[in-house]
C-alpha cells in the first residue's frame, strides 16, 4: 500500500512554510523541493512547486499553486502538548508574525494553516468517567482562546475560583 499523507495547497509560500514547521516542530524536516515546469498556471517556471516535508515523523506534501484554493479551518493540525509551558510556547510561535489566535485552542499560523494546540490534560479530562465534570470543563474550554490547563482542571473539579489565564 502507498503512504497516506496530508496535501496542503499554498498560494506561493509552501517552501517557506515547510522550513518554518521544520524549525518549530521536533522530528521535522524538509525532504524535497521540486521546481515548477513551464506551463503551470499561476506558478513561475523554476519556482518551488512541490515541497515534501516530514512533520513530527509524518510525511506531508505541499503545493504552490496560486490562489484558486485556500487552506481553511475544515483541516487543522492537532498538536498535543505535554503541559502548559508547551501550550504557551507553540501558541506564541505559531501565532507570531501574522498568525491569529482562535477559540477553543485553535489558531491560524502566518501561512494560513489551522492548528489545534491542545494540552494532553484536556484529552484526559474529556475521557474521564464523570459526565457532569466533563461538561463543566467543556463549558470553560469553549470560552477560551489558548487553552489553560489549570482552569480546565479546576472546572472539572468544580472549583469556580480559578479564572482562565489570558
Note whether residue 166 is domain-resident: no
CA distances to 93, 100, 137 from 97, rounded to whole Å, are 9, 9, 31
Going by their DSSP bridges, the two strands 106-108 and 114-119 should be labelled as antiparallel
The answer to whether the pTM exceeds 0.85 is: yes
Calculate mean pLDDT across residues 124-144. Answer: 95
pLDDT at 162: 60
> Are 84 and 116 in the same domain?
yes
Taking each helix axis from N to C end, the angle separating 14-24 and 84-95, rounded to the nearest 10 degrees, works out to 160
> Are 33 and 114 in the same domain?
no
> Are 140 and 88 in the same domain?
yes
**How many domains does the chain fold into?**
2
User: Which residue range forms the structural domain that includes residue 82?
Assistant: 71-161
DSSP SS3 for 35: strand
Write out the three cell numbers for 132: 457532569
Report how far residue 61's alpha carbon sits from residue 56's, in angstroms, rounded to the nearest whole number.
Answer: 14
Write out the three cell numbers for 91: 501558541
Q: With 80 as the cut, is the pLDDT of residue 166 above it?
A: no
Residue bearing cell 487543522: 76
pLDDT at 2: 82
Calculate mean pLDDT across residues 75-79. Answer: 97
Full DSSP string of 78-117: EEEESSHHHHHHHHHHHHGGG-EE-STTEEE-TTS-EEEE
pLDDT tier for residue 164 given thresholds of 50, 70 and 90: low
Other Cβ atoms less than 10 A from the Cβ of 141: the count is 21
Length of the chain: 166
pLDDT tier for residue 160 given thresholds of 50, 70 and 90: low
pLDDT at 42: 82
Q: What is the CATH number of the domain that holds 106?
A: 3.10.180.10
> Are 27 and 91 in the same domain?
no
Q: How many CA atoms lie within 13 A of 86 on its CB side?
A: 14
> Are 15 and 3 in the same domain?
yes
Contacts of 59 (CB under 8 A, 6+ apart): 3, 5, 31, 52, 53
More confident residue, 163 or 38: 38
> Are 60 and 85 in the same domain?
no
Structure confidence by residue, pLDDT tens digits, 6-43: 999 999 999 999 999 999 999 999 999 999 999 988 88
pLDDT at 163: 60
Structure confidence by residue, pLDDT tens digits, 82-130: 999 999 999 999 999 999 999 999 999 999 999 999 999 999 999 999 9
Residue bearing cell 485556500: 70
pLDDT at 3: 84
Give the domain-ending residue among 70, 100, 126: 70
> Are 112 and 128 in the same domain?
yes
Report the first-to-last Cα separation within the chain, whole angstroms. 46
> Are 22 and 83 in the same domain?
no
Amino acid at each position: 500500500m502507498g503512504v497516506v499523507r496530508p496535501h496542503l495547497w499554498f498560494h506561493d509560500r509552501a517552501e517557506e512554510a515547510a522550513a518554518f514547521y521544520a524549525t518549530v516542530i521536533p522530528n521535522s524536516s524538509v525532504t524535497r523541493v521540486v521546481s515548477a515546469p513551464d506551463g503551470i498556471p499561476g506558478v513561475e517556471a523554476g519556482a518551488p512547486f512541490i515541497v515534501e516535508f516530514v512533520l513530527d515523523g509524518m510525511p506531508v506534501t505541499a503545493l504552490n499553486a496560486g490562489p484558486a484554493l485556500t487552506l481553511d479551518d475544515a483541516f487543522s493540525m492537532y498538536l498535543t502538548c505535554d503541559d502548559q509551558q508547551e501550550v504557551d510556547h507553540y501558541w506564541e510561535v505559531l501565532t507570531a508574525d501574522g498568525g491569529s489566535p482562535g477559540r477553543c485552542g485553535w489558531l491560524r499560523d502566518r501561512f494560513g494553516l489551522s492548528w489545534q494546540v491542545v494540552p494532553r490534560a484536556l484529552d484526559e479530562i474529556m475521557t474521564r468517567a464523570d459526565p457532569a465534570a466533563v461538561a463543566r470543563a467543556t463549558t470553560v474550554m469553549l470560552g477560551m482562546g489558548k487553552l489553560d490547563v489549570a482552569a480546565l482542571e479546576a472546572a472539572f473539579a468544580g472549583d469556580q475560583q480559578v479564572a482562565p489565564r489570558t
